[in-house]
Amino acid sequence: MVPKPEEINLLTGESGAQQLEAEKKPTSALDEPVSHWRPRLALNVMADNFVFDGSSLPADVHRYMKMIQLGKTVHYLPILFIDQLSNRVKDLMVINRSTTELPLTVSYDKVSLGRLRFWIHMQDAVYSLQQFGFSEKDADEVKGIFVDTNLYFLALTFFVAAFHLLFDFLAFKNDISFWKKKKSMIGMSTKLWKVKKALKMTILWRGLMPEFQFGTYSESERKTEEYDTQAMKYLSYLLYPLCVGGAVYSLLNIKYKSWYSWLINSFVNGVYAFGFLFMLPQLFVNYKLKSVAHLPWKAFTYKAFNTFIDDVFAFIITMPTSHRLACFRDDVVFLVYLYQRWLYPVDKRRVNEFGESYEETATRAPHTD
């Protein structure tokens, strides 16, 4: 296979050994495939003493069976299965001119008939992906889901994913989604319209046709807008230096394939940081108003489930560390929100994140400072 480009420190450049190796190769040979070494060989032998029906042998197991005739009885030798799924692309080692020794780890284990058939089907499925045009890298990531994850945890993940799809369908059916709401869509961090006289725009749905109405902010909405702007200003003072400092730190201490790779990585980290930034003003507004907006229990349950579902997939899917950490930022914000929901009273006059306000007057006095 074509070897992956070497990662280097962009400021200091390549080491002397890397430059010497590159000078030995002609320019046309840099993108040519080279031999790689698999450092691991996994052997599995079926340990079950199973008697098969000779007229209806399982097709998946049959190709791994070797038959011998002993008298009038046909026997099969112990079934040997060479595990190809455990061989990941990331573990391959390039064989170059300076290579004199290479490590090899041979593992031997027994396997049950059911587990053997499962791994045979998984191995065939990965091979089929490559036949359909998937790259070796994509197929290798699918391999990692099954090899690097406990099977029981994997089964739990599939169950949670199926439940999540069902929950999404029920949420859509019960009209929980944001674009289905039919009241004011002015909420925290939602600046649809702002002019000098603090006008607001309200969208009312008449069937499938939206109707726009303009009015003025109430005192509660004006305070919410003021605190929202204040929170964004304070948080930007913190996050701008962090993003710049993180980019400079990665340039000095982390190796990249190219300047373009460093630039994309810095931008992605900035996107994650500002995604976290836009979730925090709601907590600040709750703190300043000493109340939380009302949220129907269906929407609240959907919010809670949707917050933690990403955590499950963060453990089984190969992804950059920054993206995996971004999956847990929602958890932090949601846990703080739960604490505020327990600490402060619910104010139904406030517009929640779905753009709904449930009462014109408060039913209980707000929390005092």
Give residue-wise pLDDT tens across range 92-120.
888 888 888 999 999 999 998 888 888 88
Residue 18 lies in a domain: no
Measured at the alpha carbon of residue 77, what is the angle toward residues 72 and 79, in degrees to the nearest 5? 140
Higher pLDDT pick, 359 / 324 = 324
**Number of separate domains in the chain:** 3
| 225 and 339 together in one domain | yes
| 332 and 321 together in one domain | yes
Residue-level pLDDT at 60 = 85
| 248 and 340 together in one domain | yes
Residue-level pLDDT at 187 = 36
Query: 181, 187 in Cβ contact below 8 A?
Result: no
Rg (the chain; Cα; Å): 30
pTM: 0.61
Say if residue 85's pLDDT is above 50: yes
Residue 92 lies in a domain: yes
Q: Alpha carbon of 269 to those of 110, 263, 321: distances in Å?
A: 45, 10, 10
The label of the residue with tokens 């450092």 reads 39
- Please, which pLDDT band fits residue 211 given cuts at 50, 70 and 90? low
Query: 65, 79 in Cβ contact below 8 A?
Result: yes
DSSP 300-331: HHHHHHHHHHHHHHHHHS---HHHHHHHHHHH
Higher pLDDT pick, 185 / 285 = 285
Helix ranges restricted to H, 53-106:
59-62
Q: Mean per-residue pLDDT for 124-133?
A: 86
Domain stops at, among 148, 175, 205: 148
Residue 314 lies in a domain: yes
| 201 and 286 together in one domain | no
- Please, which pLDDT band fits residue 29 given cuts at 50, 70 and 90? low
Higher pLDDT pick, 201 / 67 = 67
Residue 121 lies in a domain: yes
Q: Report percent pLDDT > 70 for the chain.
A: 75
| 347 and 237 together in one domain | yes
Q: Which residues contact 205 (CB under 8 A, 6 or more apart)?
A: 182, 211
Query: 105, 39 in Cβ contact below 8 A?
Result: yes
| 239 and 321 together in one domain | yes
Q: Highest mean pLDDT: which of 59-63, 161-165, 317-321, 348-352?
A: 59-63
Residue 87 lies in a domain: yes
| 254 and 196 together in one domain | no
Say if residue 202's pLDDT is above 90: no
Is the Cα torsion angle 178, 341, 167, 165 positive or negative in sign?
Answer: positive
Residue 73 lies in a domain: yes
| 345 and 246 together in one domain | yes
Query: 183, 352 in Cβ contact below 8 A?
Result: no
> How many other CB atoms are there within 10 angstroms of residue 51's CB atom?
7
Domain residues for the domain of 139 are 37-148
| 202 and 235 together in one domain | no
Domain stops at, among 123, 148, 173: 148
Q: What is the mean pLDDT of the chain?
A: 76
Least confident of 87-96, 134-143, 178-187, 232-241: 178-187
Residue-level pLDDT at 19 = 47
Length of the chain: 369
> How many other CB atoms are there within 10 angstroms of residue 342's CB atom?
8
Residue-level pLDDT at 80 = 92
| 304 and 336 together in one domain | yes
- Please, which pLDDT band fits residue 178 given cuts at 50, 70 and 90? very low
Residue 42 lies in a domain: yes
Domain stops at, among 216, 231, 265: 216
H-run or E-run covering 4: none
End-to-end alpha carbon distance in the chain:
67
Say if residue 240 is exposed, middle or buried (CB neighbours under 10 Å; 0-12, 13-18, 19+): middle
Greatest distance between any 2 Cα atoms in the chain: 100
Residue 153 lies in a domain: no
Say if residue 327's pLDDT is above 50: yes
Say if residue 289's pLDDT is above 80: yes
Higher pLDDT pick, 14 / 163 = 163
| 224 and 330 together in one domain | yes
H-run or E-run covering 41: strand 40-46
| 43 and 121 together in one domain | yes
Hey, what are 90's tokens? Answer: 């990331």
Residue-level pLDDT at 151 = 74
102: DSSP letter = -
Residue-level pLDDT at 185 = 36
Say if residue 39's pLDDT is above 90: yes
- Please, which pLDDT band fits residue 170 given cuts at 50, 70 and 90? low
Q: Mean per-residue pLDDT for 154-164?
A: 77
